[in-house]
Amino acid sequence: MQASGEKKIYIADDEANIRLAIKKFLENAGYVVEDFESGDLLLEAFSKSPCDLVVLDVMMPGSNGFVVCKELRKISHAPIIMLTARDSDLDYATGLDLGCDDYLIKPFSPMALVMRVKAIFRRMEFDRQIYAKRDLATGLFDKVSGVNLIEGRLAEVDDGKPPFALFIIDIDRLKSINENFGREAGDKAIVKVAEVLSKDGGEDDVAFRFAGNEFVVLAADVEGAEAADKKARAICATLKKTRGEGDANVSVSIGAALFPEHGASYEALIAAAREALAKAKKGGGNGHAIYAGTQAEEAHGVEKDKNTH
């Protein structure tokens, strides 16, 4: 785990005595701390040099803590602890809804805040060790880490059920590429697909290598079959553009399932996506299909390449 001194913390509170007391205790705990008398100044500093954790007072002149929290969540996942003098369920709910990680009611012991900060960093380090294992060949998450991340995302879903789609991507005719172009070409095809999935993915997407020639992607904010269709087409189109002179023609088949329409668990979604993948592959590859109840919709063909191997 990183030493405390390598963690940078920003504090915004218009009450100088509270701000400086917090700063003193956090510095004594080994953290690098910068303090600001307003949320606007903190935002300006964060845009130039992000920190590892933010402590925000709710009531401040200019942009209050809720506004600052909302703005920070547009650009960062850094933990946020909010402070308030009002013991209000509404304030508490608002802060959590905007994305803060913890809440303290004034007056509080600065040492209590230090303990909260340490707990958050311990949890982050634990999550990093559990989830950050990577597939050495592609740099994507490995299967265990990817499944853990998706199951964690499902466990956090509330009644609003934010939409997303689960895709299985299978490299077409990888065995043929290995036989005709050599094992190195096959390895290059695997890496190429991984690079496309990494570059085309959003910040909240999860992509991992499921098996030798298969990948799984959880794509956030993909709502409905039309959006899933667009995402699948984009993957195929981007992959086609990456082909260099002399490269083997690399194409993929894609099966997609939608949350929550096709399942609320990872097992249900992966089974539905795999059934759709089978439908796509029946079309000869280089296409995709969306799961639709008892059977996948007709595979959506992508323009075929006469030089496909």
Could you read off the pLDDT of 43-53 as tens digits, one per residue?
Answer: 999 999 999 99
Please give the backbone phi and psi of residue 102, each rounded to the nearest 5 degrees, phi first: -155, 165
Domain that holds residue 201: 143-301
What b/e string do you get for 67-95 counting C-beta neighbours within 10 Å, with b at 16 or more? bbbebbeeeeebbbbbbbeeeeeebbebb
117 and 247 belong to one structural domain: no
pLDDT at 305 over 60: no
The predicted pLDDT at position 134 comes to 78
**What pLDDT band is residue 160 in, cutting at 50, 70 and 90?**
low
- The pLDDT tens digits of the residues spanning 94-130 come to 878 888 989 898 888 899 999 999 999 988 877 766 6
CATH of the domain at 35: 3.40.50.2300
The predicted pLDDT at position 246 comes to 55
Distance CA 182, CA 6 (A): 46
Whether 246 maps to a domain, the answer reads yes
For the chain, the domain total comes to 2
87 and 26 belong to one structural domain: yes
Whether 138 maps to a domain, the answer reads no
295 and 218 belong to one structural domain: yes
- The pLDDT tens digits of the residues spanning 255-283 come to 999 998 898 899 999 999 999 999 999 88
**What pLDDT band is residue 303 in, cutting at 50, 70 and 90?**
very low
pLDDT, the chain, mean: 84
Which amino acid is located at 272 in the chain? Answer: A
- The pLDDT tens digits of the residues spanning 173-184 come to 998 988 888 888
Please identify, among 96, 131, 166, the residue that sits at the C-terminal boundary of a domain.
Answer: 131
The predicted pLDDT at position 223 comes to 85
- For tokens 């949890």, what's the residue? 123
pTM for this predicted structure: 0.56
Q: Which helix (H) or strand (E) holds 251?
A: none
113 and 174 belong to one structural domain: no
116 and 147 belong to one structural domain: no
Is the separation of the CB atoms in 81 and 36 below 8 Å?
Answer: no
Is the separation of the CB atoms in 280 and 290 below 8 Å?
Answer: no
177 and 291 belong to one structural domain: yes
- The pLDDT tens digits of the residues spanning 181-210 come to 888 888 989 999 999 998 877 777 889 999
pLDDT > 90: what percent of the chain? 44
Distance CA 273, CA 109 (A): 51
Whether 306 maps to a domain, the answer reads no
150 and 126 belong to one structural domain: no
40 and 152 belong to one structural domain: no
119 and 162 belong to one structural domain: no
**What pLDDT band is residue 131 in, cutting at 50, 70 and 90?**
low
Whether 206 maps to a domain, the answer reads yes
The predicted pLDDT at position 158 comes to 58
Q: How many CB atoms lie within 10 A of CB 304?
A: 13
Q: How many CB atoms lie within 10 A of CB 146?
A: 24
Please give the backbone phi and psi of residue 94, each rounded to the nearest 5 degrees, phi first: -65, -45
The predicted pLDDT at position 232 comes to 92
Distance CA 158, CA 23 (A): 35
**What pLDDT band is residue 3 in, cutting at 50, 70 and 90?**
very low
Residue in 120, 119, 143 with CA at minimum distance from that of residue 131: 143
**What pLDDT band is residue 211 in, cutting at 50, 70 and 90?**
confident
Of 142-146, 225-229, 245-249, which range is least confident? 245-249
Mean pLDDT of 63-80: 92
- Two tokens, residue 210: 């499921």
